[in-house]
Amino acid sequence: MTTDAAGTVRVALIGSGRMGAYHGETLSRRVPGARLVAVADPAPGAAERLAGALGADRAYTDPVQVWADPDVDAVVIAAPARFHADLVVAAAGAGKGVFCEKPMAMTLLEADRAIEAARAAGVVLQVGFNRRFAADWTAARALLDAGRLGTPRLLRSVTRDPGGFDPSRVAPDTIFRETLIHDFDTLRFLNPGAEAVEVFATADALVEPGWRDRGLLDTAVVVVRFDNGARAVAEACFEASYGYDVRGEVLGSGGMVTMGDGRRTGMVWSGPEGRAVETVRGDQELFPDAYTAELAAFVGAVRSGTPALVTGADARAALAIALAAAGSVRIGRPVRLDEVPA
Ligand SMILES: NC(=O)c1ccc[n+]([C@@H]2O[C@H](COP(=O)([O-])OP(=O)(O)OC[C@H]3O[C@@H](n4cnc5c(N)ncnc54)[C@H](O)[C@@H]3O)[C@@H](O)[C@H]2O)c1
């Protein structure tokens, strides 16, 4: 079964932290045709708290209980990244449709295992690249598909987080595998049909210089060469004093398109010092519609048995660029995608 008798997709949430709680709220309040029926989280009391707040029937302390629950059609995985691939494999093996937050895997081998598990089980596997569902990015892709931008030549994708991160929760590759992975996916999305062939990256600890010795990187620039000749730049920094800033640009043979302007509203304040706009302060403030649209698309795919709009293969391709970028920083030269270890 991929739904209950009434056609509702019954979803269990795996991981109830910052992103999981938001996805849980989206599923229970903003996605017609979905019902949040269970929450699983090993942290004491965490699943019970969120399930209680959102009206989910069941709270589990182990995802294994979800696999065994016949009244769960699909899962949304928002556990820490290092658990994702195993959770995807187990959920698919239990016949559940799978939405997995990015990154879907930490290595290419893990990614292949996850993709194969979903294929073998015949279940939907969608990955949390929410920017593909954000209005500016969707509109840019529509222009590309209509041929209005011609052939992409230069692309750009920028992510600046608002700061306040806990360095002890960040690993050396986090900026590539968890942050810039969104940008790498966006660059592929906006250069349809092309794949990255070479990556050159430079990165440093500029926000938290005290953590440089431990290899924590919080500021990075990545140049990507695609097989259609297009060049792209992705850049990220874990702290921007003015908020959460995500932007993109494509210059094609037929014109240019830009996405995102960091504004919270269209309001412009004018006063004695000049003019000012309000900026967005966080991901859930910038992308509420995209987070809803990606889960609505997932639920729709599970119900109809149609392929996901963002696939395991997309997750693997973005991960390969992330791993190449991390490798490039380590060895100080460009890295070809076919050099990335499995
Ligand atoms: N798409 C986006 O824009 C976006 C934004 C933020 C986070 N994320 C992703 O969401 C994921 C979660 O991030 P977060 O910020 O919510 O982290 P978090 O640390 O706030 O929450 C993780 C939760 O998972 C639980 N957990 C740990 N091990 C588990 C397991 N084996 N099974 C189930 N639950 C487990 C923890 O107890 C915790 O409650 C990460 O992969 C992150 O990259 C995506």
For a pocket test of ligand 1, which of 48, 66, 101, 287 has the largest count of ligand atoms closer than 8 A to its C-beta?
Answer: 101
- Asked if residue 87 has pLDDT above 70, the reply is yes
Q: Ligand 1: does its nearest atom lie under 6 Å from the Cβ of 63?
A: yes
Model confidence pLDDT, tens digit, residues 101-125: 999 999 999 999 999 999 999 999 9
Given the CA of residue 81, which atom of ligand 1 is nearest to it?
Answer: 41
The pLDDT assigned to 75 comes to 98
Sketch out the chain's domains with CATH numbers.
Answer: 9-123 (3.40.50.720), 132-286+319-339 (3.30.360.10)
Q: How far is the CA of 18 from the centre of ligand 1 (A)?
A: 7
Residue whose CA is at the smallest distance from ligand 1 atom 21: 17
CB contact set of 156 (below 8 Å; sequence gap of 6+): 232, 233, 234, 247, 248, 249, 250
Q: Where are the beta strands (DSSP E) in 6-137?
A: 9-14, 34-40, 58-60, 74-77, 97-100, 125-127
Q: How far is the CA of 81 from the centre of ligand 1 (A)?
A: 7
68 or 341: which leads in pLDDT: 68
Rounded to whole angstroms, the Cα distance separating 172 from 298 reads: 31
Angle separating helix axes 18-29 and 288-304, nearest 10 degrees: 60
Residue whose CA is at the smallest distance from ligand 1 atom 7: 19
Q: Can you give the pTM of this predicted structure? A: 0.97
Q: How far is the CA of 332 from the centre of ligand 1 (A)?
A: 31
Model confidence pLDDT, tens digit, residues 51-76: 999 999 999 999 999 999 999 999 99
- Asked if residue 171 has pLDDT above 90, the reply is no
Q: Ligand 1: does its nearest atom lie under 6 Å from the Cβ of 78?
A: yes
Q: Ligand 1: does its nearest atom lie under 6 Å from the Cβ of 286?
A: no
Mean pLDDT of the chain: 96
Model confidence pLDDT, tens digit, residues 286-317: 999 999 999 999 999 999 999 999 999 999 99
pLDDT band at 197 (very low <50, low <70, confident <90, very high): very high
The pLDDT assigned to 1 comes to 57
User: What share of the chain has pLDDT > 70, as a percent?
Assistant: 100
Q: With helix as H, strand as E and coil as C, how does 202-267 read?
A: EEECCCCHHHHHHCCCCEEEEEEEECCCCEEEEEEECECCCCCEEEEEEEECCEEEEECCCEEEEE
